[in-house]
Amino acid sequence: MSHSPAISVIIPVYNVESWLRRAVGSLQNQTCTSYEILLVDDGSTDGSGALCDKLADDDVRIRVIHQENQGAAAARNAAIEIARGDYLYFMDGDDWCDRTMLKDMYRVASEHNLDLLITGFTIDTYYDDEGKYYRELRNAPDRIFESQEEFRANACQLFDAQLLYAPWNKLYRRSYIKEKGIRFPGTFWDDLPFNLDVMREVERVGCIDGHYYHFLRARAESENTKYRPDMYDKREEEHRWMNELYAYWNLDSPEIEEFLARRYAERLVGCIENVTNRNCTLSKEEKRAAIKQMISTPHAREALKKARPRTKMMYLVLAPLRMGNITLTMTESEFISWVRQNSTSLFARLKANR
pLDDT of residue 223: 45
Using the CB atoms, write b or e for 254-264: b if 16+ within 10 Å.
eebeebbbbbb
pLDDT of residue 278: 85
Q: Helix/strand/coil (H, E, C) string of the chain?
A: CCCCCCEEEEEEECCCHHHHHHHHHHHHCCCCCCEEEEEEEECCCCCHHHHHHHHHHHCCCEEEEEECCCCHHHHHHHHHHHCCCCEEEECCCCCEECCCHHHHHHHHHHHCCCCEEEECEEEEEECCCCCCEEEEEECCCCEECCCHHHHHHHHHHHHHCCCCCCCCCEEEEHHHHHHHCCCCCCCCCCHHHHHHHHHHHCCCEEEECCCCEEEECCCCCCHHHCCCCCHHHHHHHHHHHHHHHHHHCCCCCHHHHHHHHHHHHHHHHHHHHHHCCCCCCCCHHHHHHHHHHHHHCHHHHHHHHHCCCCCHHHHHHHHHHHHCCHHHHHHHHHHHHHHHHHCHHHHHHHHHCC
Written as one letter, the residue type at 258 is E
pLDDT of residue 141: 97
Backbone angles phi, psi at 83, to 5 degrees: -65, 145
pLDDT of residue 335: 87
d(CA 15, CA 234): 25
d(CA 302, CA 321): 12
pLDDT of residue 344: 63
C-alpha torsion sign, points 175, 94, 98, 190: negative
Backbone angles phi, psi at 286, to 5 degrees: -65, -35
d(CA 172, CA 170): 6
Q: Give the count of beta carbons closer than 10 Å to the beta carbon of residue 119.
A: 24
Q: Which CATH superfamily is domain 7-216 in?
A: Spore Coat Polysaccharide Biosynthesis Protein SpsA; Chain A (3.90.550.10)
Residue 27 neighbours by CB under 8 Å, 6+ apart: 9, 35, 37, 91, 97, 102
d(CA 124, CA 32): 24
d(CA 207, CA 116): 9
Nearest residue to 66 via CA among 84, 48, 83: 48
Q: What is the pLDDT along the chain (354 residues), one digit of tens a residue?
A: 458 999 999 999 999 999 999 999 999 999 999 999 999 999 999 999 999 999 999 999 999 999 999 999 999 999 999 999 999 999 999 999 999 999 999 999 999 999 999 999 999 887 666 677 788 999 999 999 999 999 999 999 999 999 999 999 999 999 999 999 999 998 777 899 999 999 999 999 999 999 999 998 764 444 445 789 999 999 999 999 999 999 999 999 999 999 999 999 999 999 999 999 888 999 999 999 999 999 999 999 999 999 999 999 999 999 999 999 999 999 999 888 777 777 666 666 666 666
pLDDT of residue 132: 73
d(CA 175, CA 211): 26
pLDDT of residue 316: 93
pLDDT of residue 99: 98
Sequence spans of domains, the chain = 7-216, 226-352
